Amino acid sequence: MTTDDLGVYVHIPFCASRCDYCAFATWTDRGALVDDYLDALVVELARAREDGMLSGDVEVTSVFFGGGTPSLVPADGLVRVLDAIPMARDAEVTVECNPDTVTPQLLDTYRAGGVNRLSLGVQSMVPHVLAGLGRTHDVDGVAEAVRAARHAGFDNVNLDLIYGGAGETLAEWRTTLDRAVALGPEHLSAYALTVEAGTPLAGDPRRHPDDDDQADKYELASAHLAAAGYDWYEISNWAVPGRTCRHNELYWRQGDYLGVGCAAHSHRAGRRWWNVRTPERYLDRVRRGRSAEADGETLSADTQRIERLQLELRTVRGVPADALPTTAPDLEPLVEVQDGRARLTVAGRLLANEVSVRLR
């Protein structure tokens, strides 16, 4: 990856149902807006070419369709949006999918249209844990979705997992890891369940995750995935060699990216901005020929430097050793220094925020 890399994030805000832990900008009752929304995305991308972000000889190196449930919208409509993005020949193009929305026809359209990476929202491979998270797919559907992806020619598949759901034992988390690894994905993400204000989960303290339980499950994931041949490269992400997520690495290196769609965020050369949150407001702005930007900020050089270190600290690359205090016994179990760089240990990954505030 070079500093010339440019990513595009496309936000698809539509869902069939809303998970109990979700606080993202997604809606389950806006299906009538899908076609108009896809049209607006194409218009916003065209304007980005006119305004300079995508103009000239710019070639996008990664595209990520997130949400929401991108696989819920018509596949040919999604490909039409992709066609409006000027991409490098080797660009990574990811689409997030719910397993229960995956069909052979959808995958064939994606593959023919230039999509080359799938990210399946699996979360758990234990039925009662899935139900507790408010997920609608079943365990068998995950395996079927992966088989369909392979049949369609996809050789780069990620499985998203969540640990710490109510009633999930350590043994059940191991079962999820075992079953996920058995499907042979090139990439695995494992996130701790978090309680977001305003969600059904937030309103039910009995289902809130336990910090010690989540720490045990993270340590299990780290050891289990390493033994299965997956390299850890960011706090919540593991991949087989050569299959790290290029788009997410762009974020962690404080690279430039354009976000299109409602609530999408962008960054360029120290300035970041974000679009209006709701699809209705987004459509209104685009239809009236106005910018969809809601607000933005320009970061000072020092803020950029500190944020870059905070992002790098999350990764296997780590930070320059002199970015942390040289005499700090409390940091010794949390970081390891090698070749002039300080990297988080497994214990340090669990306490990354505490290490982060010591950066200088």
State the alpha helices, DSSP H only, in 92-184.
Answer: 104-113, 127-133, 139-151, 170-182
Q: pLDDT per residue over 184-197, tens digit each? A: 999 999 999 999 99
The count of other CB atoms within 10 Å of the CB of residue 46 is 12
- In this structure, what token pair is assigned to residue 179? 């079953």
What pLDDT shows up at residue 4?
A: 76
Q: Are residues 77 and 205 in the same domain?
A: yes
What pLDDT shows up at residue 52?
A: 81
DSSP 8-class letter at 277: S
* Separation between Cα atoms, residue 96 and residue 119, nearest integer Å: 5
Q: Are residues 185 and 329 in the same domain?
A: no
Q: pLDDT per residue over 130-140, tens digit each? A: 999 988 899 99
Asked if residue 86 has pLDDT above 90, the reply is yes
What is the arithmetic mean of pLDDT over 330-349? 95
Q: Are residues 327 and 217 in the same domain?
A: no
Q: Which domain holds residue 326?
A: 301-360
Report the CATH number that the domain containing residue 141 is assigned in CATH: 3.20.20.70
* pLDDT classification of 56: cutoffs 50, 70, 90: confident
In 68-194, at which residue ranges do the beta strands (DSSP E only) sit? 87-97, 117-123, 157-163, 187-192
SS3 14: strand
- Considering the domain boundaries, does residue 280 fall inside one? no
* Separation between Cα atoms, residue 71 and residue 90, nearest integer Å: 23
Taking the alpha carbons of 85, 91, 96, 100 in that order, is the dihedral positive or negative? positive
Residue that terminates a domain, selected from 192, 219, 251: 251
Dihedral of the alpha carbons of 235, 92, 247, 228, in degrees to the nearest 10? 0
Q: Are residues 214 and 348 in the same domain?
A: no
Q: Are residues 184 and 319 in the same domain?
A: no
Q: Are residues 237 and 312 in the same domain?
A: no
What pLDDT shows up at residue 326?
A: 78
Q: What is the largest CA-CA distance in the chain?
A: 60
What is the arithmetic mean of pLDDT over 148-154? 98
What is the arithmetic mean of pLDDT over 303-320? 97
Q: Are residues 108 and 12 in the same domain?
A: yes
Bridge partner list, 273 = 266, 296
Asked if residue 347 has pLDDT above 90, the reply is yes
- Considering the domain boundaries, does residue 149 fall inside one? yes
- Considering the domain boundaries, does residue 295 fall inside one? no
- Considering the domain boundaries, does residue 34 fall inside one? yes
Prior bond of 7 cis (ω within 30°): no
Q: pLDDT per residue over 2-43, tens digit each? A: 457 999 999 999 999 989 899 999 999 999 999 999 999 999
The count of other CB atoms within 10 Å of the CB of residue 35 is 12
* pLDDT classification of 53: cutoffs 50, 70, 90: confident
- In this structure, what token pair is assigned to residue 49? 């070419």
- In this structure, what token pair is assigned to residue 125? 């491979």
- Considering the domain boundaries, does residue 286 fall inside one? no
What pLDDT shows up at residue 263?
A: 98
Radius of gyration over every alpha carbon of the chain, rounded to an integer in angstroms: 20
Residue that terminates a domain, selected from 251, 273, 290: 251
Q: pLDDT per residue over 203-215, tens digit each? A: 999 999 999 999 9
Domain count, the chain: 2
- Considering the domain boundaries, does residue 39 fall inside one? yes
Residue 196 near residue 202, CB atoms below 8 Å: yes
Q: pLDDT per residue over 198-241, tens digit each? A: 999 999 999 999 999 999 999 999 999 999 999 999 999 999 99
What is the arithmetic mean of pLDDT over 98-111? 97
What pLDDT shows up at residue 3?
A: 52
Q: Are residues 21 and 159 in the same domain?
A: yes
What pLDDT shows up at residue 87?
A: 95
Q: Are residues 38 and 177 in the same domain?
A: yes
What pLDDT shows up at residue 136?
A: 86
Residue that terminates a domain, selected from 192, 221, 251: 251
- Considering the domain boundaries, does residue 274 fall inside one? no
Q: Are residues 37 and 170 in the same domain?
A: yes
What pLDDT shows up at residue 1?
A: 46
Residue 288 near residue 309, CB atoms below 8 Å: no
Q: Indicate the pTM of the whole model.
A: 0.96
Q: Are residues 55 and 176 in the same domain?
A: yes
Q: Are residues 243 and 314 in the same domain?
A: no
- Considering the domain boundaries, does residue 256 fall inside one? no
